[in-house]
């Protein structure tokens, strides 16, 4: 049977964390059983329609981007199938498009929906669909890639960043693939719609990876991910490594990559089997894995929403996240976000501290806001004002557990107890005691690790 620590780790990585009560319901199950639940549970799709605000006449177009950021962050924190949101987030940072260039949130939402609906399906199918969605056509300029002066942007990144990895192809391959993708454009009269213009496609015989044919764009994907077993395996390794890096830790041993890649390859690039292998892997539960990732700003904010019960529309994280280094629908470039060291620098951590300072002071203390869950404040006040001789320790343990930290380090727990005790003995016993406690918990190393 699984340890609580293992289950909590799994739920943090395969989702955005689990409450103590959720962990209780998983008690007695094996890891394999929980993984099956995470992957196989059918959840009634509750997002068959786009979010309401797209059709709300009171919401202006310019508000769509931050509204969709809020919508997705809330969904990460509360959706019944968190692994689905995790995978959507993985693909958003892997098959990147940015609204800074696409400039159309309905197209960005369509891509987001694809990553949600198909993110646990087949990798090759996902690449095919993604390639022809207008968000990607605009982001990597294939929208205007036509015979005569082929635009290489999409052709290059398809191979460098979406399938093979750098150095697995030549510049001649890029040029041939760019020609193959000519004509896969957007409608002259409606740039939000994909159209294939046969008369703008370069029908010449092109030599791609040693094969001379009249390649079409989708032919390139089929060659890389189906027809040619070498490139198919290279791509399987490329994506397996990205998955392990995203869910477990960066720079894995090649044996782990090879093992997962083989699962992908043997299942014709279906993603569920490789996810099952990943979450059941013994190394996934190693100390290296448990200590191996820093929560990205999106993961950290989603956890705050989850554990405080304060929705994104109340705490408005979207105005802070750019300076934390991660804005949804705005990856910094086509290579997406990186990890760990990328999040731990002075300006980014400073912004996390600012955000926590503001939500704790402005929101928890703000009685006039409707529908605010005040249970954190009330419970901590009750414990701290109680008669128990262990009330400082109890308050610290309760606050840590409330934020999903069931096994805090000795160091953190000791310093938090010391801080609460200090506050008491300085005769300054008021609301600031729990405010400071909750602030430090959200900034603690435990809460900032994934």
Partner 1 sequence: MPMIIDPETVAIRDAFSVAETRAEFSRRRFLQVSAAAGGGAALAMSPLLSHLEAFAAPPLKSTDAVLVMIMLSGGNDSLNMVVPHSDSNYHALRPTIGLHTNQTLNINSTVGLHPGLTKLKHRYDAGDVAIIQGVGYNPSDFSHFSSMANWMQGWGGANVSYPTGWIGRYLDGLPNAATEALYAVTLNTNGVPLHLVGQQARGSSLPMSVGGRFGVDRSGQDDARLYDDIASIAQSGRTGLGPWGDTIAKANAGVLRLAGRIAPAYPDQSQVPDDWFARQMQLVGRLVNRNLGIRVLNVTLDGFDTHTNELVNHADLMTSLDAGIEMLFTTLSPTWADNVVAMTFSEFGRRPNENDGGGTDHGTAASHFVVGPRVKGGLYGQMPPLADAKLVDYGNLEPQLDYRRIYATLLHQWLNADDRQILGKTYPQIGFIESHP
Burial of 113 (0-12, 13-18, 19+ CB in 10 A): middle
Q: How many CB atoms lie within 10 A of CB 394?
A: 16
Nearer to partner 1, 34 or 107 (CB): 107
Rounded to the nearest whole angstrom, what is the least distance from the CB of residue 241 to partner 1 in the complex?
7
Query: How do beta strands 211-213 and 206-208 pair?
Result: antiparallel
Q: Which stretch binds partner 1 (CB under 8 A): 51-59, 105-113, 291-299, 383-391?
A: 291-299
Nearer to partner 1, 152 or 259 (CB): 152
Distance CA 355, CA 324 (A): 10
Q: Which of 84, 99, 111, 444 binds partner 1 (CB under 8 A)?
A: 444
Rounded to the nearest whole angstrom, what is the least distance from the CB of residue 238 to partner 1 in the complex?
8
Q: Which of 156, 281, 377, 402 binds partner 1 (CB under 8 A)?
A: 156
Residue 426 as a binder of partner 1 (CB under 8 A): the answer is: yes
The contact pattern for partner 1, residues 192-231, with x = CB under 8 A and - = no contact, is ----------------------------------------
Distance CA 224, CA 238 (A): 12
Residue 292 as a binder of partner 1 (CB under 8 A): the answer is: yes
Rounded to the nearest whole angstrom, what is the least distance from the CB of residue 16 to partner 1 in the complex?
18
Residue 316 as a binder of partner 1 (CB under 8 A): the answer is: no
Q: Which of 2, 34, 126, 174 binds partner 1 (CB under 8 A)?
A: 174
Residue 251 as a binder of partner 1 (CB under 8 A): the answer is: yes
Rounded to the nearest whole angstrom, what is the least distance from the CB of residue 97 to partner 1 in the complex?
14
Q: Which of 344, 362, 386, 429 binds partner 1 (CB under 8 A)?
A: 344
Q: Which stretch binds partner 1 (CB under 8 A): 47-55, 83-91, 249-257, 260-268?
A: 249-257
Sign of dihedral through CA atoms 353, 359, 361, 364?
negative
Residue 146 as a binder of partner 1 (CB under 8 A): the answer is: yes
Residue 368 as a binder of partner 1 (CB under 8 A): the answer is: no
Residue 419 as a binder of partner 1 (CB under 8 A): the answer is: yes
| Residues in region 78-97 near partner 1 by CB under 8 A | none
Rounded to the nearest whole angstrom, what is the least distance from the CB of residue 57 to partner 1 in the complex?
31
Are 378 and 372 spatial neighbours (Cβ–Cβ below 8 Å)? no
Q: Which of 309, 338, 393, 394 binds partner 1 (CB under 8 A)?
A: 338
Residue 354 as a binder of partner 1 (CB under 8 A): the answer is: yes
Q: How many residues bind partner 1 (CB under 8 A)?
A: 80
Rounded to the nearest whole angstrom, what is the least distance from the CB of residue 355 to partner 1 in the complex?
9
Nearer to partner 1, 132 or 449 (CB): 449
Q: Which of 81, 241, 306, 402 binds partner 1 (CB under 8 A)?
A: 241
Residue 190 as a binder of partner 1 (CB under 8 A): the answer is: no
Q: Which of 132, 191, 372, 443 binds partner 1 (CB under 8 A)?
A: 443
Q: Which of 4, 19, 151, 280 binds partner 1 (CB under 8 A)?
A: 151
Rounded to the nearest whole angstrom, what is the least distance from the CB of residue 90 to partner 1 in the complex?
15
Residue 429 as a binder of partner 1 (CB under 8 A): the answer is: no
């Amino acid at each position: 049977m699984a340890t609580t620590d293992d289950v909590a780790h799994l739920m943090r990585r395969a989702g955005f964390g689990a409450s103590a009560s959720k962990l209780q319901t998983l008690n007695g199950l094996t890891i394999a059983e929980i993984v099956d639940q995470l992957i196989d549970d059918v959840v009634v799709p509750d997002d068959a329609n786009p979010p309401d605000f797209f059709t709300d006449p009171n919401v202006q177009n310019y508000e769509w981007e931050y509204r969709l950021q809020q919508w997705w962050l809330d969904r990460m924190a509360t959706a019944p199938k968190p692994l689905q949101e995790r995978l959507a987030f993985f693909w958003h940072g892997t098959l990147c498009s940015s609204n800074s260039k696409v400039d159309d949130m309905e197209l960005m939402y369509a891509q987001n929906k694809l990553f949600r609906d198909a993110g646990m399906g087949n990798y090759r199918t996902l690449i095919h669909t993604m390639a022809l969605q207008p968000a990607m056509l605009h982001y990597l300029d294939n929208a205007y890639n036509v015979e005569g002066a082929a635009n290489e942007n999409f052709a290059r990144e398809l191979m460098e960043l979406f399938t093979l990895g750098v150095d697995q192809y030549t510049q001649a391959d890029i040029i041939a693939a760019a020609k193959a993708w000519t004509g896969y454009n957007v409608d002259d009269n409606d740039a939000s719609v994909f159209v294939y213009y046969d008369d703008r496609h370069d029908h010449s015989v092109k030599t791609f990876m040693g094969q001379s044919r009249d390649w079409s764009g989708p032919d390139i994907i089929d060659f890389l991910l189906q027809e040619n077993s070498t490139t198919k395996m290279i791509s399987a390794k490329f994506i397996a490594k990205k998955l392990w890096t995203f869910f477990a830790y960066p720079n894995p041993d090649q044996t782990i990559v090879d093992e997962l890649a083989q699962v992908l390859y043997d299942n014709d690039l279906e993603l569920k089997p490789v996810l099952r292998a990943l979450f059941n892997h013994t190394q996934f539960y190693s100390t290296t894995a448990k200590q191996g990732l820093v929560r990205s700003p999106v993961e950290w904010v989603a956890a705050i929403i989850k554990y405080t019960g304060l929705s994104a529309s109340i705490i408005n994280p979207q105005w802070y996240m750019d300076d934390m280094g991660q804005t949804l629908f705005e990856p910094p470039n086509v290579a997406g976000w990186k990890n760990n060291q990328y999040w731990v620098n002075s300006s980014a951590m400073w912004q996390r501290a600012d955000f926590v300072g503001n939500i704790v002071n402005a929101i928890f203390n703000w009685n006039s806001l409707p529908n605010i869950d005040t249970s954190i404040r009330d419970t901590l006040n009750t414990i701290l004002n109680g008669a128990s001789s262990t009330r400082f320790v109890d308050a610290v343990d309760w606050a840590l557990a409330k934020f999903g930290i069931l096994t805090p380090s000795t160091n953190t727990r000791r310093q938090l107890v010391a801080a609460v005790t200090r506050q008491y003995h300085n005769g300054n016993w008021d609301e600031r005691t729990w405010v400071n406690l909750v602030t430090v918990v959200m900034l603690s190393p435990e809460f900032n690790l994934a």
